[in-house]
């Protein structure tokens, strides 16, 4: 379906500059009909520029966590030399098909610096090699590892938060719900920091009006990502995919919810914010005008990207631990 909004004419000056640079970086990297391996290589190459010049932290190291699916790499960021820190588990976006701890390195560095917490970024197995629910269950295993061996990780097992962007925001909420429903282990979660996530809407005004080749979220693109992620079309209705289908009236920690003003997924964030309002969940909703889906990657150019991470960190600092 053709878009009915001229998105490119409404970009902020910063976002326009970032999009021009993105187009320069990705020239000849993406092509119709390319394989997901080729898409990954292109995505990784483009993101190298955007991850330069991140904050220098006290300690950054890669480790691995054993899960029922095998070893999963994680990267721990420690902003200072405190022996015990609260931890934010970061689950990266990329439509469940793209991305890794490197493609989101600047984001996680900024979040660690601004929040004062350790950040553990999870390099879950991508789709289509891993179908739902493998990625979510790998993230659950990472959280349980942090809790069960907290001294080895130097973290407070009773002060854990989640953060993620796009598909990673979906997986962050899914990981929390899995812990709540399956492991009966929802205690000790401070908050969730969710940036332009998809929470299960299968149609919306923003999906109809926004999205295009500039952000890789045409309706065909979105269908492709979901088809790679789902083991079956029915997974679209699974509780750890369709976040909004869950009972969110109890045992939900405070939520920071951000969306872009030109983001086709913005109605998911608006709907989640309305659920928070009606259910009495502490939350902050931020709609950033003039920016596209994915803008959080562009903090080297887009001031609003850095501001959203700062606001997320400020929300984190003022949130209490959910018991």
pTM of the shown model:
0.97
Cβ-contact 231, 259 below 8 angstroms: no
Q: For the chain, 323 residues long, give each residue's pLDDT as a single digit of tens.
A: 455 789 999 999 999 999 999 999 988 888 778 898 999 999 999 999 999 999 999 999 999 999 999 999 999 999 999 999 999 999 999 999 999 999 999 999 999 999 999 999 999 999 999 999 999 999 999 999 999 999 999 999 999 999 999 999 999 999 999 999 999 999 999 999 999 999 999 999 999 999 998 999 999 999 999 999 999 999 999 999 999 999 999 999 999 999 999 999 999 999 999 999 999 999 999 999 999 999 999 999 999 999 999 999 999 999 977 76
- Listed residue (181, 158, 178) closest to 85, CA to CA: 158
With a CB cutoff of 8 Å and minimum separation 6, the contacts of 259 are 195, 196, 265, 266, 268, 269, 270, 285, 286, 287, 288
Query: Please, what are the domains in the chain?
Result: 7-318 (3.40.50.1820)
Q: Could you tell me the two tokens for 251? A: 């045992």
DSSP assignment of 174-190 equals HHHHHHHHTS---TTEE
* Burial class of 204 by CB neighbour count within 10 A (0 to 12, 13 to 18, 19+): middle
- Listed residue (171, 61, 77) closest to 115, CA to CA: 77
Can you give the pLDDT at residue 2?
A: 57
Cite the active site residues.
166, 263, 293
With a CB cutoff of 8 Å and minimum separation 6, the contacts of 127 are 96, 97, 135, 228, 229
Cβ-contact 69, 125 below 8 angstroms: yes
- Residue with structure tokens 């015990």? 84
Cα dihedral: 298, 92, 220, 5 (round 10): -40
């Amino acid at each position: 379906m053709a878009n009915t909004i001229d998105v490119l004419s409404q970009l902020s000056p910063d976002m326009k500059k970032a999009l021009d640079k993105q187009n320069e970086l990705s020239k000849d990297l993406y092509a119709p009909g390319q394989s997901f391996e080729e898409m990954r290589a292109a995505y990784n190459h483009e993101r190298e520029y955007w991850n330069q010049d991140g904050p220098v932290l006290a300690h950054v190291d890669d480790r691995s966590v054993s899960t029922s699916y095998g070893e999963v790499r994680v990267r721990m960021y420690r902003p200072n030399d405190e022996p015990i820190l609260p931890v934010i588990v970061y689950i990266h976006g990329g439509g469940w098909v793209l991305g890794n701890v490197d493609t989101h390195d600047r984001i996680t560095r900024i979040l660690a610096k601004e929040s004062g917490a350790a950040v553990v970024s999870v390099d879950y197995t991508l789709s289509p090699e891993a179908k739902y629910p493998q990625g979510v269950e790998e993230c659950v295993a990472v959280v349980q590892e942090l809790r069960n061996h907290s001294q080895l990780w130097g973290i407070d097992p009773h002060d854990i938060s989640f953060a993620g962007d796009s598909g990673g925001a979906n997986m962050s909420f899914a990981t929390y719900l899995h812990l709540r429903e399956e492991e009966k282990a929802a205690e000790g979660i401070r908050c969730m920091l969710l940036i332009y996530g998809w929470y299960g809407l299968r149609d919306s005004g923003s999906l109809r009006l926004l999205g295009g080749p500039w952000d890789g979220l045409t309706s065909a693109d979105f269908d492709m990502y979901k088809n790679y992620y789902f083991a079956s079309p029915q997974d679209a209705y699974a509780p750890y995919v369709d976040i909004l289908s869950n009972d969110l009236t109890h045992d939900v920690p405070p939520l920071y919810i951000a969306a872009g003003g030109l983001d086709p997924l913005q109605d998911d964030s608006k709907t989640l914010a309305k659920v928070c309002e009606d259910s009495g969940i502490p939350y902050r909703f931020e709609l950033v005008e003039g920016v596209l889906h994915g803008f959080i990657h562009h903090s080297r150019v887009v001031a609003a990207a850095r501001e959203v991470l700062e606001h997320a960190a400020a929300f984190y600092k003022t949130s209490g631990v959910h018991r």
